[in-house]
Amino acid sequence: MSRVVIAMSGGVDSSVAAALLKEQGHDVIGIMLRLWSEPAAEQDDGVARVSENKCCSLESVYDAKRVAQKLDIPFYLLNVAEKFRETIVDFFYDEYTAGRTPNPCLRCNRYIRFTELLGHAQSLGAEYLATGHYVRVDTDPQTGERRLRKGADSLKDQSYVLHTLTQEQLRHALFPLGELTKPEVRLLAEKYGLAVARKPESQEICFVAQNDYRGFVKRYAHLRAEQEKETAAEPIPGQLPGPIYTTDGKYLGEHTGLAFYTVGQRKGLGITTAEPMHVLAIEADRNAIIVGPASALEKSDFVMHDVNFPRGSVFADTFTGFVKIRYKAPEMPAVIHPLPQNRAAVHLLQPARSITPGQAAVVYGGPDSSEVLCGGLIE
């Protein structure tokens, strides 16, 4: 059997993945990533507290260590806090202040888990890095290429957030939960006697306290200015008030900063109109928000950039597939036309609402439409 590093989080998924690998006879090493979290800040009661990163809180570290002890496997903490801040948190902040809506989990999987952690795993002599993601990887019997496919549990499938993986990364990746459902994983945790069997899971971004994006953007702007030994200007970038226009240029009022709006948003616009208005576009070049009726949100065409083909071979000709424009969005039939410089034009056969710049579009295909053909960020 092989030496395998399992990325542990203290949650039920990675814990069961570790147990399955141990049961299969692998030489398993558990590693938990120490990620960046906001420094101590004074709260309303006057006490300074650290805003813990939910992926590596003290409770999560304790839970992961207990699981490792139960399974009798080594457990280590790997500090990647600075790399995480520079690569993930800075990007998240910059995208929001530019009026885009990023998904930091995509970037974390690409640059932290399957780059930093995979490299560390290989330095320990491990052949594979395993995670608790609900996704499948297999080998095409004809070409020998590794295929990234949806997990068997359609409600938990996480192939969308792993579409950035390359052939080299897929050849060293294991996903023990790919054929399982969440209820089955919970039952296995009970069977193995893991204390985290009923632990709830968080759907929030790990480094944003209370899921408060607005507050985070404000705090992080000041923090970064302090680190760069500058004085944060007021208003902070991304929070500069600006005009709200209709598509025909009619002025409706002022927005409070591009960072606080996303395409499709209806509530909190601060304007009064005869019919409900939604954010149609965020124009950073003139610091403007464009609004219109819900019907105007529907679009059939968009372009994505930074396109990755997990198989490694780039499609040269136009092809068809099924596209997801958000993690929980339904798949829609589409025609994809590759463009130079890792870009692609996407034409949906039926228009969709809220195609949001900064989010990923992922294309599925194959005999059962379960394979990730490619994916990129919406322009």
Could you tell me which residue, 224 or 267, shows the higher pLDDT? 267
Q: Reply yes or no: is the peptide bond before residue 200 cis, omega within 30 of 0.
A: no
pLDDT for the residue 41:
54
Residue 42 has pLDDT above 50, yes or no: no
| Both structure tokens of 207 | 């480094």
Q: Are 107 and 114 in contact (CB under 8 A)?
A: no
What letter represents residue 20's amino acid?
L
Residue 322 has pLDDT above 60, yes or no: yes
Range list of H helices, the chain: 12-23, 58-71, 81-84, 90-97, 104-108, 118-123, 167-170, 182-191, 213-227
Alpha carbons 266 and 268: distance in angstroms, whole number: 7
In sequence order, the 6+-apart residues with CB closer than 8 A to the CB of 274 are none
Domain ranges, ordered by start, for the chain: 3-132+176-210, 240-297, 298-378
CATH for 3-132+176-210, options being 3.40.50.620, 3.40.50.150, 3.90.850.10, 3.40.640.10? 3.40.50.620
The pLDDT tens digits for 114-167 are 999 999 999 999 999 999 999 999 999 999 999 999 999 999 999 999 999 999
Name the active-site residue from 55, 56, 105, 206: 206
Angle of helix 12-23 relative to helix 58-71, nearest 10 degrees? 20
Straight-line distance from the first to the last Cα atom of the chain, in angstroms, rounded to the nearest whole number: 44
What letter represents residue 30's amino acid?
G
For every residue of 117-172, DSSP letters joined together read IHHHHHHTT-SEEE---SEEEEE-TTT--EEEEE-S-TTT--GGGGTT--HHHHTT
| Annotated catalytic residue 374 | no
Torsion 286-291-295-298 (CA) sign: positive
Name the active-site residue from 55, 56, 105, 108: 108
Which residue has 């404000």 as its token pair?
218
pLDDT for the residue 3:
97
Alpha carbons 45 and 30: distance in angstroms, whole number: 38
pLDDT for the residue 48:
44
Give the range among 36-40, 193-197, 318-322 with minimum mean pLDDT: 36-40
pTM for this predicted structure? 0.91
The pLDDT tens digits for 324-359 are 999 999 999 999 999 999 999 999 999 998 899 999
In sequence order, the 6+-apart residues with CB closer than 8 A to the CB of 316 are 338
CATH superfamily of 240-297: Adenine nucleotide alpha hydrolases-like domains (2.30.30.280)
- Percent of residues, the chain, with pLDDT higher than 70: 94
**3-132+176-210 and 298-378, same CATH topology:** no
Could you tell me which residue, 127 or 314, shows the higher pLDDT? 127
In sequence order, the 6+-apart residues with CB closer than 8 A to the CB of 267 are none
CATH architecture, domain defined by 298-378:
Beta Barrel (2.40)
Angle of helix 12-23 relative to helix 182-191, nearest 10 degrees? 60
Could you tell me which residue, 218 or 10, shows the higher pLDDT? 10
pLDDT for the residue 307:
97
pLDDT for the residue 51:
66
The pLDDT tens digits for 70-105 are 999 999 999 999 999 999 999 999 998 888 989 999
pLDDT for the residue 316:
86
User: Which of these, 107, 154, 356, 364, lies nearest to 374 by C-alpha position?
Assistant: 364
| Annotated catalytic residue 55 | no
Pairing of strands 332-339, 343-352: antiparallel
